[in-house]
Each structure stands twice: as structure tokens, then as C-alpha cells.
């Protein structure tokens, strides 16, 4: 099976994962996922595998196969896995779960190599571009930096006590981090290299982005520069695009009928894919803020999406 240059996948409460032709909107493969809902999707840097995070497990599927079976399963979490991602060379995977832990996995052997205790349900985890720190956000409002070299928590922040941190995003060059919470607020910090290698946070901005929950926040990728944007997806049915220079509102993407759960930028930042409770995913062009494609086929809320339209990064 020839590998598509653009890999786009969505998952829904209907217990399926669907792969789409990004341009035509045609669904060319459906994977049944009977064991639980899928909370998060992520594609490996080499474009070979799709990770699906479900209730207490992560399953890895071969992107280029028609097999409905996962290649491998990662099973030591004890509750919903809410975050999943990969090291840039594809050697290991990280995850965050409502069981209160952040874990690092050896991709090949499916063994959990490390476990960090967050003491509250983990909603979001991102890998710092330096590939040496994980940043997690939890249900109690804690943000923690896990220093992988020191194997410990190097920094702890609570932007708003008892207000769940729903989503975290880091600028591609490591200069900025944004945390979005259940009150529609984004907290923005400058990331500074401290003494030794410890990253420190300097408050930069507080943005009241939405009246409802923010379910996902995402900073634009490297090839979008010099323009830098923050996308915020919300329970108010909209996605807002903010210019990071001063956090002015550039556009509001309107078209979804229900909550917008997830969003992902194309590699050049020119397009945005969104996933919504209205069962659809949409492709938006950033230049006009219009939806130019609707992906229809799921029967229940579409809660996560994954896109890889860049060059593969070969495993080292």
C-alpha cells in the first residue's frame, strides 16, 4: 500500500478511527475501536504508525496496512489516557492519564520506562522542543515540568487554583508556553533558560479567550514564521486565532454546530483541521478563515484529529 503524503485521521465516540484523503474528503479506511472511546490521536514522526489513546491503554496502528488489529498495545495506565506524543527520533513515547501519572514508554518493547506522579488526573502533556523536558497539566490546575535528565520535577506552577488545565502548547523554538483552562482563559509564559538547563517561566500574558471551556490550545508551527498564531478551540462552538504578537484576535472560525474538541495545524500553518461534537472534522484555510472541506462519516462526536503533512523525520 503506497504511503499517502498527507496522513489525516479522526476518532469519535462511535468507537471508530477514520483515515481521510485530506483534499477530497473521502474516507479510505475505518478501524473499529470497540474497547473504549479514543481520547487522543498522534502520528509517529516517521509517518508509519498512529497512536490511539483510550481508556487505560494506548494502541499503535500501522498507517500503511489494512489490518484492523493494532501492532502493539501499551497497557499499564489504570484510567483514561488523555495525552500521547513522541520523541523526535521516534525512540520513545510519552503519555498522561487520568490515573494521575505521566509515563515514558519504549516504543519497541511496549515497556513503561518511567513514571511521574502528578497527584491529580493529567489532562495534557507536551514535549519541550529541547526533547529533554515534559510539561504536564492536571485537573487540579497544576503545571509541572519533568526534567528527563534529572528524572524529577524541576518546576511547578498553579496559574489558577482548582481550575483544570485542559491543554498545553509550546512554541516550536521553546520560547513560549500557553496553558488553557476550563474557564476560557489562556496563561502565557516566556520560557527562559535558567542556570544549568532548567527552564523557568516568566509571566507574559493572560488572555480571556472564550466564555466556555477551552478544549485545545495550539501554537503555530515553525514554517508559519514570521507569523505566529495561537489557536483556541472551545465549547462555544468556535475556534479563535490569535496573533501571538500582542494576542490580538485575528479570526474566529465559525461553522461547527457543537463543541470543538481538537485542532491541528498543517506543517506550514496555512491550514487548520478541527474535530467537533457535531460529528464532523473540518479543514480551514487560515488566509480567509473559511472551512473548505468537511469530513463526514462519524456517527457521534468527533473528539480528536491527527495530521502529518510534512517530511518524515527518519529514526536515528
Under 8 Å between Cβ of 82 and 98? yes
CB count in 10 Å sphere of residue 87: 19
234: helix, strand or coil? strand
Q: How confident is the model over 99-142, as pLDDT tens digits?
A: 999 999 999 899 999 999 998 999 999 999 999 999 999 999 99
Q: How confident is the model over 55-103, as pLDDT tens digits?
A: 999 999 999 999 999 999 999 999 999 999 999 998 899 999 999 999 9
Nearest to 217 by CA among 165, 139, 278: 165
Nearest to 211 by CA among 231, 248, 186, 236: 236
Judged against a pLDDT cut of 90, whether residue 270 lies above it is answered with yes
Q: What is the pLDDT of residue 196?
A: 55
Query: What's the burial of 222, exposed, middle or buried (CB within 10 Å: 0-12/13-18/19+)?
Result: middle
Nearest-angstrom CA–CA distance, 133 and 138: 17
DSSP state at residue 55? B
What would the mean pLDDT of 272-299 be, rounded to a whole number?
97
Name the residue ranges covered by the structural domains of the chain: 7-308
Q: What is the pLDDT of residue 1?
A: 46
259: helix, strand or coil? coil
Nearest-angstrom CA–CA distance, 49 and 107: 11
Q: What is the pLDDT of residue 198?
A: 65
Q: How confident is the model over 162-186, as pLDDT tens digits?
A: 999 999 999 999 999 999 999 999 9
Q: What is the pLDDT of residue 40?
A: 98
Cross-strand pairs, 106: 92
Query: Going along 58-129, which residue ranges are E strands?
Result: 58-62, 72-74, 81-86, 92-97, 101-106, 112-117, 122-127
Question: What predicted TM-score, i.e. pTM, was given to this entire model?
Answer: 0.95
Q: What is the pLDDT of residue 311?
A: 79
Nearest-angstrom CA–CA distance, 190 and 203: 6
Query: 199 pLDDT band (50/70/90 cuts)?
Result: confident
Under 8 Å between Cβ of 130 and 173? no
Q: What is the pLDDT of residue 310?
A: 86
Q: What is the pLDDT of residue 225?
A: 85
Q: Which three cell numbers stand for residue 35?
A: 474497547
Query: 315 pLDDT band (50/70/90 cuts)?
Result: very low
Judged against a pLDDT cut of 60, whether residue 314 lies above it is answered with no
Query: 316 pLDDT band (50/70/90 cuts)?
Result: very low
Placement of cell 490515573 in the chain: 99
Superfamily, domain 7-308:
YVTN repeat-like/Quinoprotein amine dehydrogenase (2.130.10.10)
Percent of the chain past pLDDT 90, that is, above it, reads 90
Q: What is the pLDDT of residue 193?
A: 72
Q: How confident is the model over 301-313, as pLDDT tens digits?
A: 999 999 999 877 6
Query: 3 pLDDT band (50/70/90 cuts)?
Result: low
Amino acid at each position: 500500500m503506497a504511503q499517502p503524503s498527507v496522513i489525516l485521521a479522526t476518532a469519535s465516540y462511535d468507537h471508530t478511527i477514520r483515515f481521510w484523503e485530506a483534499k477530497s474528503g473521502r474516507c479510505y479506511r475505518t478501524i473499529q475501536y470497540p474497547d473504549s472511546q479514543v481520547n487522543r490521536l498522534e502520528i509517529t514522526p516517521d509517518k508509519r504508525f498512529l497512536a490511539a489513546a483510550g481508556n487505560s491503554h494506548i494502541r499503535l496502528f500501522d498507517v500503511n496496512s489494512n489490518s484492523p488489529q493494532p501492532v502493539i498495545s501499551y497497557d499499564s495506565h489504570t484510567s483514561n489516557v488523555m495525552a500521547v506524543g513522541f520523541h523526535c527520533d521516534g525512540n520513545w513515547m510519552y503519555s498522561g492519564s487520568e490515573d494521575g501519572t505521566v509515563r515514558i514508554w519504549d516504543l519497541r518493547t511496549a515497556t513503561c520506562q518511567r513514571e511521574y506522579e502528578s497527584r491529580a488526573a493529567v489532562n495534557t502533556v507536551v514535549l519541550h522542543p529541547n526533547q529533554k523536558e515534559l510539561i504536564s497539566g492536571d485537573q487540579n490546575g497544576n503545571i509541572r515540568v519533568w526534567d528527563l535528565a534529572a528524572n524529577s520535577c524541576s518546576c511547578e506552577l498553579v496559574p489558577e487554583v482548582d481550575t483544570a488545565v485542559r491543554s498545553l502548547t509550546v512554541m516550536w523554538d521553546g520560547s513560549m508556553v500557553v496553558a488553557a483552562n476550563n474557564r476560557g482563559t489562556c496563561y502565557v509564559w516566556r520560557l527562559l533558560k535558567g542556570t544549568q538547563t532548567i527552564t523557568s517561566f516568566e509571566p507574559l500574558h493572560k488572555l480571556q479567550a472564550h466564555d466556555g471551556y477551552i478544549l485545545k490550545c495550539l501554537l503555530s508551527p515553525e514554517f508559519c514564521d514570521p507569523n505566529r498564531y495561537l489557536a483556541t478551540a472551545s465549547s462555544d462552538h468556535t475556534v479563535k486565532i490569535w496573533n501571538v504578537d500582542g494576542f490580538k484576535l485575528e479570526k474566529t472560525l465559525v461553522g461547527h454546530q457543537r463543541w470543538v474538541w481538537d485542532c491541528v495545524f498543517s506543517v506550514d500553518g496555512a491550514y487548520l483541521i478541527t474535530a467537533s461534537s457535531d460529528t464532523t472534522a473540518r479543514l480551514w484555510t487560515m488566509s480567509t478563515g473559511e472551512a473548505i472541506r468537511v469530513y463526514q462519516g462519524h456517527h457521534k462526536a468527533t473528539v480528536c484529529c491527527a495530521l502529518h503533512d510534512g517530511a518524515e523525520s527518519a529514526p536515528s
